[in-house]
């Protein structure tokens, strides 16, 4: 898929901006604090409906204004899709082709994005919550059903936790209803666990080769760590065993006033030679592991959604050595729309610049420097 065009009104330091992107590589360069990350962030928000760096939507509105609008045209083969998001008073209105979309799950699978940015390492080094959030988002972009089930799970979880709190405080609850609730929760949990497990398998199908090509090492592995560690043998048994597991933990859950196991407690590990990179990896290995994960995701999008996601690279080249940079560029410059930001054009290969559309950015103003010169 291709982002043909984006229009911003009052988004961060852009009062008004209209950009047409090239279907291949686009490079945006400029000094610090000029708006490079803001521009990529606007693209990210247009696809995902949330920022990758701010939880508070109102931060996205230009600080002297009271609303912000992002609109863009996505092209998929012969189809153009108009997406639009308006943010006002901490509320967001989502539009596809001028119709309001109520459910986020109906919106977010339309524009697929993979983003690389310097804080990405948090994905590896940060808390399990960061990894869960990340993989939830990736899975939701891939399967709209995932987001729906996740929401249902979270709703059931909230109710179950309220029941547990009541039980802890010796307030009467209907135990039959509680058991039914747990049963439903387990149904949703099983769907999530299966989808996560499959997704990690898919990542590993690609990541070995990618890691080898970029790092010249081949023992990279993503591992899914479900908090309910029960072996799947057959459908009936599996559910039964999980329900038994929940029942065994009931007294502990009551004591903690919350459901202490389930997909909301899962984690993922990045392994190199079976060693967890979180604790033992060098910064360089960690960075490559995250890149490798994301490159594998591109392959998954290609295979299962029959489209390429839009790739955003925010200032990531300064951190990599020349040969790794070149290996990486070889990977990404194949038929995938890419938007790269950098402070230094010198960080990028001349040949790459030649086949890219080039923009310079200066305090929220974008200046087109050149179109693509060869007729690619
Ligand atoms: N809501 C906002 N309203 C106006 N300006 C903003 C807002 N949020 C961030 N900025 C400004 O955007 C600039 C940073 O832009 P950024 O895209 O992060 O820069 P960089 O080019 O270094 O990536 C800063 O000057 C900051 O003050
Ligand atoms: Mg930046």
Q: pLDDT by residue (tens digit) across 277-327?
A: 988 878 878 888 888 898 899 989 989 888 899 999 998 877 677 777 777
Å from CA of 244 to ligand 2 middle: 50
Residue 351 has pLDDT above 90, yes or no: no
Q: What is the pLDDT of residue 9?
A: 98
Q: For position 124, what pLDDT does the model report?
A: 93
Predicted pLDDT at 373: 65
Query: Which ligand is closest to the CA of 35, given by its number?
Result: 1
Pocket of ligand 1 (CB under 6 A): 12-13, 30, 32-38, 59, 61-63
Q: Would you say 146 and 140 are in contact if contact means Cβ atoms under 8 Å apart?
A: yes
What's the 44 CA to ligand 2 centre distance in angstroms? 14
Q: Which band of pLDDT confidence, cut at 50, 70 and 90, is reported for residue 218?
A: low
- Residue 212's pLDDT is 78
Is the per-residue pLDDT at 329 higher than 90? no
The closest ligand to the CA of 30 turns out to be 1
Give start and end residues of each alpha helix (H) in the chain. 36-48, 104-107, 122-125, 128-142, 144-168, 175-215, 235-248, 250-256, 277-280, 283-300, 322-332, 350-354
At residue 26, the pLDDT reads 95
Give the confidence band of 374 by pLDDT, cuts at 50, 70, 90.
low
Q: Which ligand is nearest to the CA of 12?
A: 1
Choice from 14, 16, 27, 33 to test ligand 1 binding pocket (greatest atom count within 8 A of CB):
33
* pLDDT at site 226: 96
Contact between residue 69 and residue 86 where contact means Cβ atoms under 8 Å apart: yes
Widest pairwise Cα distance in the chain: 75
Q: What is the pLDDT of residue 220?
A: 83
From residue 275, alpha-carbon distances to 270, 278, 279, 356 in Å are 8, 9, 8, 39
Percent over 70 (pLDDT), the chain: 97
Q: Ligand 2 centroid vs 229 CA: distance in angstroms?
A: 40
Q: What is the position in ligand 1's atom list of the atom closest to the CA of 39?
A: 17
How many whole angstroms separate alpha carbon 337 and alpha carbon 298?
11
Verdict on whether the full-model pTM lies above 0.75: yes
Q: Decide which of 349 and 27 is more confident.
A: 27
Say yes or no to pLDDT of 376 above 60: no
């Amino acid at each position: 898929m291709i982002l043909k065009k984006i229009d911003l009104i009052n988004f961060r330091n852009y009062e008004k901006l209209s950009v047409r992107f090239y279907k291949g590589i686009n490079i945006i360069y400029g000094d610090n604090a000029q708006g490079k990350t803001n521009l990529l962030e606007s693209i990210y928000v247009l696809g995902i409906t949330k920022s990758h760096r701010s939880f508070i939507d109102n931060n996205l509105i230009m600080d002297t204004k009271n609303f912000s609008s992002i609109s863009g045209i996505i092209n998929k083969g012969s189809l153009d899709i108009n997406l639009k998001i308006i943010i006002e008073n901490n509320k967001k209105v989502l539009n596809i082709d001028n119709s309001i979309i109520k459910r986020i799950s109906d919106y977010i699978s339309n524009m697929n994005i993979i983003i690389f940015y310097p804080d990405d390492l948090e994905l590896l080094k940060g808390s399990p919550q960061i990894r869960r959030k990340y993989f939830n988002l990736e899975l939701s972009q891939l399967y709209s059903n995932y987001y729906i089930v996740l929401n249902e799970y979270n709703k059931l979880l909230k109710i179950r936790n309220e029941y547990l709190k009541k039980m802890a405080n010796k307030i009467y609850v209907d135990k039959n209803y509680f058991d039914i609730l747990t049963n439903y929760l387990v149904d949703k949990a099983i769907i999530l666990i299966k989808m996560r497990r499959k997704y990690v398998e898919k990542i590993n199908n690609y990541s070995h080769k990618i890691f080898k090509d970029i790092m010249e090492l081949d023992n990279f592995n993503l591992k899914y760590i479900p908090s309910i560690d029960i072996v799947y043998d057959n459908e009936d048994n599996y559910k039964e065993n999980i329900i038994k597991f929940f029942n065994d933990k009931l007294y502990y859950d009551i004591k903690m006033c919350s459901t202490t196991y389930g997909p909301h407690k899962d984690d993922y590990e990045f392994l190199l030679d079976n060693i967890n990179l979180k604790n033992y990896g060098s910064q360089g290995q960690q960075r490559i592991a995250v890149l490798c994960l994301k490159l594998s995701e591109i392959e998954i999008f290609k295979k299962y959604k029959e489209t390429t996601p839009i790739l955003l690279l925010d200032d990531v080249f300064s951190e990599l050595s020349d040969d790794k940079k070149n290996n990486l560029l070889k990977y990404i410059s194949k038929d995938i729309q890419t938007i790269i930001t950098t402070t230094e054009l010198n960080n990028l290969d001349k040949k790459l610049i030649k086949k890219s559309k080039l923009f310079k950015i200066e305090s929220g103003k974008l200046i087109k420097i050149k179109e693509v010169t060869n007729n690619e």
